[in-house]
Amino acid sequence: MASGVIALSGTDKTLVGLNPLSLTAIREGILGKIFPDAANISDAVTGTDFVPNVEALAEVNPDLVIQWGGRGPEIVDPIVNAGLTTLLIKYGTEELTRQYTTMVATAIGKPERITELVEWRDQVQKDIEAKLAGIAEEDRPSVLYLGRSLSDITAAGNKGSYNAWYIELTGGRNAAAELDGSLSINREQIAQWDPEVILLNSFEPGLDVSWVYDDPILSLTKAAQNRRVYKMPLGGYRWDPPNQESPLTWMWLAELLHPDVFDYDLRAEMTKAYKVLYNYELTDEDIDGIIWTAQQGDGFGYDQFAAE
């Protein structure tokens, strides 16, 4: 949500504290280039598990604390008990994303920013749905999103998974649909599912597509054999979870799953979106860095994203 606050407010000066994972994304991604001072915002106010550090919160003295409202009282009560004004938001679906983004825009005094962003989400979603309306189930590739790969291997079933939602939206079938929630799995399970496409998370800096291609088991999957392994891009925020850049995630994945159906000019769409979101003109080098062209530009279908 930290990068979302920057996008909505148009400045990094609104933020006085953020989650360590958000700070890592700023430093690793392009937001740190667009807003260099954001890399110095305190991440001491919470752990990566969102448990607040009340003493650190008191030091930065926020007018408003935004916290997840559906993950238990242990991450909410300390903030409320400290007398801090708190906005609770719920996560997990596209509908909730639009709701909490609107709430945050209003809370930070930028309600005029939200209409254009929600309309963009709505337009792209409906466009993708319309173009895929005639695609038969057997023509939808099986797609596996791995939320973690290095310290553990995790995948998520359909229930409550935003990743599963946009896999289906963009014309794929969740290879891990049988799972109940997000669970640890092993390489043998992946081999059994034998997905046609594998998506790697953008949360693990040391992770790239070689993790699949160089693995003696995973390299035998259809995804590896056909060079359809992709790491999720890292832009103003990671493209895996819902955020202000989600329509770009959908267009990127739709093009990879059904290049014969879609003809989005992703580079032009990114350029237009970053101007609206961050008032920033992307360069070709910026775009290549966000979508990991150097690391996976030889993947199936990636030539369509090459600079002219």
Query: What is the mean pLDDT for each group of 10 consecutive residues in the chain (308 residues)?
Result: 91 91 91 93 91 92 91 91 92 92 94 95 98 93 97 92 96 96 96 98 95 98 98 96 96 97 97 97 97 97 94
Q: Which of 279, 227, 296 lies closest to 34 in space, CA to CA?
A: 279
Query: Which helix (H) or strand (E) element contains residue 156?
Result: strand 154-156
CB 27 within 8 A of CB 35: no
Please, are residues 1 and 89 in contact by the beta-carbon 8 Å criterion? Answer: yes
pTM, to two decimals: 0.94
pLDDT for the residue numbered 308: 86
3-state secondary structure of 104: helix
d(CA 112, CA 255): 31
Helix (H, G, I), strand (E, B) or coil at 56: helix
**DSSP letter at 154?**
E
Cross-strand bridge partners of residue 308: none
Residues 142, 173: contact at Cβ < 8 Å? Answer: yes
What digits encode the pLDDT tens for the residues 228-255?
999 999 999 999 999 999 999 999 999 9
Residue-level pLDDT at 84: 92
pLDDT digits (tens, 9 = 90+) for 28-47: 999 999 999 999 999 999 99
Which residues are registered as beta bridge partners of 67? Answer: 88
Contact yes or no for 239/249 (Cβ under 8 A): yes
What is the model's pLDDT at position 160? 84
Contact 245, 236 (CB under 8 A): yes
What pLDDT does residue 70 have?
A: 83
pLDDT at residue 91, as a whole number? 84
Give the per-residue pLDDT at 92: 85
- AA letter at 124: V
Instruction: Say if residues 125 and 169 touch (Cβ distance below 8 Å).
Output: yes
- Alpha-carbon distances of 245 from 132, 179, 233, 235, rounded to whole Å: 21, 27, 11, 8
SS3 306: coil
Owner of token pair 């030889």: 298
